[in-house]
Chain A
Amino acid sequence: MHALIQRLWHGLVVVAIVATATFVLVRLAPGDPFAAALENARLTPAIRAQWRAAYGLDGSVGTQYLHWISSLARGDLGFSTSTNQPVSRAIAQALPNTMLLMGTSVVIAFVLGTMLGALQASRRGGVADRGIGFVTLIGTALPDFWLALVVLLAGASWWRLFPVGGVADLLLPIGAPWHTVLLDHLRHLVLPVCTLVTLLVAPVARLQRIALLDRLGAEWIRTATAKGVAPRAVFRRHAWRTALGPVVTLAGLALPALFGGAVFIEHVFAWPGMGQLAASAVAARDYHLVVGCVLVGTVMVVAGSMLADTLLERLDPRVAHDEIMAARSAA
């Protein structure tokens, strides 16, 4: 319980620091935040002044900061000039798509990755080990946006199996049966998920292999064998089970990169998630939207890390809160 409270506090501090940093960022941005909106001739100076007041831009830096923090606490992330709606609403619409994409990919990648790593470790030095090792090595070096392009090219252009982008077919009739809709959604999910899974499986498999090989030399393995436990059960219960911890730690540490990579992949597949939102917001100079994405992304990462830490604690009872922190700094 104490560990949970400590973790929550730590997460809160991190988010507060990021909120402050984004405030500084927004203030530092040259020009008026409403510069894009300024082109809109319909906005009279009076309205602009009104907006400024509403955003507290006419106060001192201190008041502005307080205004910023209190807005954030209320969930008010500002107004998005490029999509003409509150930032929070724009993100709320986009976030579930990102979560769907990432959630599916992460689950598949971790299941596949741990199995591959375990296979490699159990057949150390053999053909399977070296073959998979080679593939995963390449996998860790692939740039995300480039792989997405290649996958799109292969899947949608050369083989014409999958749609070119988007989350669903907009032309599907409204009353279409649920299974058609589901199938359509799945078809759209395949290519982006394949891309993300390929990128994620590589480091997971590599880490799992190393962690497992390390555990296989442990003394408790010999004790288990001396107790008469069958070799497969020894591998599963005593080696693999103790080698899952590092993989979970990796999951926690890779979250920021995951959200970052989503930007490029969503852009390639025209997937209407938060990454895509951020990318188009930059082009439209919609600061508030971009900053909103940064904040929400950070909160997601912090939440995910806490989840990973909790899972790690269940998996490896030795890991007390302090040790979690130490593990993070080591990787």
Chain B
Amino acid sequence: MTETRTHPNDPLLSLRDVRVTFRTADGLITPVDGVSFDIARGETLALVGESGCGKSLTALTILRLIEAPGRIEPGSRILFDRRDLLTVPDAELRSIRGRKAAMIFQEPMTALNPVYSAGEQIAEVVRTHTKASRSEAWTQAVAMLGAVGIPSPEIRAKQYPHQLSGGMRQRVMIAMALVLNPSLLIADEPTTALDVTIQAQLLDLLREAQQARGASMLLITHDLGVVAESAQRVAVMYAGQIVEEAPVVALFAAPQHPYTEGLMAAMPRAGSRRERLTTIPGTVPPPGAWPAACRFADRCRYAWSRCTTEAPPLHQLGDGRSSRCHLVDEPARRVAAHDMVGVTA
């Protein structure tokens, strides 16, 4: 069933029914199961979820970075600037990677090559896509390092990743991604591995850089605080599926999906007088063990019989909101919240 979108007509990025399968010793699993969303030009979409929900994998599909034993199923479509990235020829894909769409990875210590200097790695992007000479590329690299807020960039450019602090390494990654002014940035948990103070700085940096260039950004994170800071719209992911989508303010004001509610309730809040943090009981099921029908049912405080027999579709709620929950059809059930029965801790 095609789900109509209420977005601007010409989104920069459009994922349609993206499905990723992995062949494991125990059989075929589908960690990304029918994910669809759009990102408009100049917009930041945050993709939120716990570890294991498939958000990082979704990010990797965009630039076709999934490798065996995983594969992107035919039937998935990823439209970037109206070109389907899943079917374009390799050469064209390579010209898009790093130049029109760039990725920022989570752990810069392992994502950066340890035997090349920071400057060399940034210059590599430039020389791969343009005819710049070594010195021109180097100059651009140094300039970019300065632009991302690294002091003494000429010196830092000659240093190796192990000589830089965590925050600086991530700035190098950001510089590498921004140097050719891509129109799409895919940031996979860019600040998760860093200190909270550095987190704030880097998120600001990303936001400013993005706005200055009018670029779009897909921001993967598990931290709702980051979402509030940086995104215009949010998509919440659970067990391989999008369960809710909404503009940021609306989401925080009134979450529709029980999972989103749970996530928000679990956020520690300053000034709150609660003694214990609320948690969502149970754990995220692994891709091979997803429940039939609604995948959140066994952890949901509102679940009833329909939830374990019929998989809820992603209902469109207008105003750019959607929710994958039967409560949309039967809102009366919401007040009848009950204690968890038969939920394993």
Contacts and interface: CB of A to CB of B under 8 A. Distances in A.
Given A223-B105, A233-B128, A317-B114, 17 more contacts: A219-B111, A220-B112, A222-B105, A225-B65, A226-B97, A226-B105, A227-B102, A227-B128, A228-B94, A228-B96, A228-B99, A228-B128, A230-B128, A241-B115, A242-B113, A242-B114, A242-B115
Given A219-B107, A317-B160, A318-B162, A226 B114 contact: no
A316 B176 contact: no
B188 to A, nearest CB: 10
B204 to A, nearest CB: 23
A230 B160 contact: no
A229 B90 CA distance: 11
B128 A229 contact: yes
Interface centre among A222, A237, A241, A242, by most B CB within 10 Å? A222
A18 B97 CA distance: 58
Nearest to A221: B113
10 contacts: A220-B110, A223-B111, A223-B112, A226-B63, A226-B98, A227-B125, A228-B128, A229-B94, A317-B160, A317-B162
Interface string A236-278: 0110011000000000000000000000000000000000000
Contact of B115 (A227, A233, A317): A317
Given A227-B128, A227-B176, A228-B125, A222 B98 contact: no
Interface string B48-71: 000000000000000101000000
B113 A228 contact: no
A316 B161 CA distance: 12
A154 interface: no
A318 B114 contact: yes
A240 to B, nearest CB: 11
B103 interface: yes
B129 interface: yes
A227 B110 contact: no
Interface in A109-124: none
Contacts of A237: 124
A222 B70 CA distance: 15
Given A228-B96, A228-B98, A316 B114 contact: yes
The 5 closest A-B pairs by CB, nearest first: A228-B98, A228-B97, A227-B98, A219-B110, A220-B113
Interface string B212-246: 00000000000000000000000000000000000
Given A219-B111, A242-B115, A230 B94 contact: yes
A317 B161 CA distance: 10
A218 interface: yes
Nearest to A315: B115
Interface residues of A, number: 21
A224 interface: yes
Contact of A225 (B95, B97, B124, B162): B97
A208 to B, nearest CB: 16
Nearest to A229: B128
Nearest to A241: B115
Interface of B: 63, 65, 94-99, 102-103, 105, 107, 110-115, 124-125, 128-129, 160, 162, 173, 176
A228 B114 contact: no
B129 A228 contact: yes
B114 A224 contact: no
Interface of A: 218-220, 222-230, 233, 237-238, 241-242, 315-318
A233 B125 CA distance: 12
Contacts of A230: 94, 128
Contacts of B128: 227-230, 233
A177 to B, nearest CB: 46
Contacts of B110: 218-220
Contact of B102 (A220, A226, A242): A226
Contacts of B113: 220, 223-224, 238, 242
Contacts of A229: 94, 98, 124, 128
A218 B111 CA distance: 8
A224 B96 CA distance: 13
B103 A228 contact: no
A17 B215 CA distance: 66
A219 B108 CA distance: 9
A233 B124 CA distance: 11
A60 to B, nearest CB: 54
Contacts of B114: 220, 242, 316-318
Contacts of B125: 227-228
B109 to A, nearest CB: 9
Nearest to A245: B115
Contacts of A220: 110-114
Contacts of A317: 114-115, 160, 162
A226 B107 CA distance: 15
Contacts of A225: 65, 97
B103 A226 contact: yes
A310 to B, nearest CB: 16
Contacts of B124: 224, 227, 229, 237
A238 B162 CA distance: 16
A209 to B, nearest CB: 19
A162 to B, nearest CB: 42
B65 A226 contact: yes
Contacts of B129: 228
A317 to B, nearest CB: 5
B176 to A, nearest CB: 7
A79 B252 CA distance: 92
